[in-house]
Amino acid sequence: MESIFHERQEGSLCAQHCLNNLLQGEYFSPVELSSIAQQLDEEERMRMAEGGVSSEEYRTFLQQPSVNMDDSGFFSIQVISNALKVWGLELILFNSPEYQRLGIDPINEKSFICNYKEHWFTVRKLGKQWFNLNSLLMGPELISDTYLALFLAQLQQEGYSIFVVKGDLPDCEADQLLQMIRVQQMQRPKLIGEEAAQSRDQRLLRSDVDQAIEVNHPFDGTGMLDEDEENFQRALALSRQEIDMEDEEADLRRAIQLSMQGSRQSEFSDSLSQNVPQSPHTSQTDALSSEELRRRRRVHFEKQQQQLQQQDQTPKLHDKPTLTSSTPQADPDGDMSEEDMLQAAMNMSLESVRNDLNTEEEK
């Protein structure tokens, strides 16, 4: 609907808005309508003067204000009718007997001008659809064909005078565009006063709420600080609770883990004790005294020494002198073989063991 020309209400210039919305353009201004009104006043004065300028009626006429316009911007039906004559248009009263005898369906007309007290507005057909171009609305209002007759009847019941505009209206962009397409309107446009009242009520409501907040909680900086401090303490308490719960859960998990480990160890020990038999030798060894153990170790080492001495008396592969059990001797060349060095190391180890045993016996 952006292509539709629609003037919104300014002051009391509803007659100007009515004409411009009808013609779909800025065709008339307050100055031009005032000029038409003054011309009508002069014509009426001249008619009154025909009866005598000294007559009481003439002097009374001069003292009365103009009936065609006033200082607020209101213009009479005579001014509107004379303005439309410039474009070859004529106004006929919709509910007059003359028009009613024609039996014309309102849907077949092109436009209507409606008046109630001092307010004027236009209802016009653009393309194939009807629109209410009331300047008190925020935008054009789409009127369906089936609703048009009911809409006009409702206006008559409310006291409106309805005039049918006869003649060819000037071409306009909106009429040409809407001949090709049809528009849809999801929501009826609001009244300018309704929009302003809602905005005023919202401002007053916000002001009342702000005042109530200021009275109950004066802004001195402490309120915000107290609220921030309270939020901080609450967050800190929640954090501590979460930490305590985490610590308790951790301790519980550790206790369960240790308990399971202990049970596993005890089960493992029991299974070992049950599965591994105790040999008689082991129990017998546990029962032996320290003297018996010392004696058996000594016998064991003496047997090993005898075996080593027997091995020393066997002929070597190389014709080399034999080594004594106490000190190694070098061969004629001054070198020792690996076998001789191993034998000497074993002898020294046996000698050290023997000395330890003797020391223990003396003790």
Closest CA to 84 of 150, 151, 20: 20
Question: Cα–Cα–Cα angle for 320, 322, 325, nearest 5°?
Answer: 155
Judge whether 19 and 169 are in contact, CB under 8 Å: no
**What does the chain come to in residues?**
363
Alpha helices in the chain (DSSP H): 14-23, 30-49, 56-63, 77-85, 97-102, 145-157, 173-178, 192-216, 222-275, 280-287, 290-313, 338-362
- Rounded to the nearest 5°, which phi and psi values hold at 241? -60, -40
Query: How far apart (Å, rounded) are the C-alpha atoms in residues 112 and 106?
Result: 9
Closest CA to 201 of 189, 193, 190: 193
Q: Which tokens is 311 given?
A: 């091995």
Q: Which residues are catalytic?
A: 14, 119, 134
Query: How far apart (Å, rounded) are the C-alpha atoms in residues 4 and 177?
Result: 10
Question: Cα–Cα–Cα angle for 252, 258, 259, nearest 5°?
Answer: 90
Classified as helix, coil or strand, 209 is helix
Residue 341's alpha-carbon distances to 35, 45, 162, 305, in angstroms, are 146, 159, 142, 17
Judge whether 174 and 3 are in contact, CB under 8 Å: yes
- Spatial CB neighbours of 18, under 8 Å, sequence gap ≥ 6: 80, 113, 120, 121, 122, 135
Q: 357-361 long-range contacts, Cβ below 8 Å, gap at least 24?
A: 357/294, 357/297, 357/298, 357/301, 360/294, 361/294
Q: Which tokens is 269 given?
A: 């020990």
DSSP string computed for 257-300: HHHHHHHHHHHHHHHHHHHSPPPHHHHHHHHS-HHHHHHHHHHH
Question: Count of CB atoms within 10 A of residue 129's CB?
Answer: 17
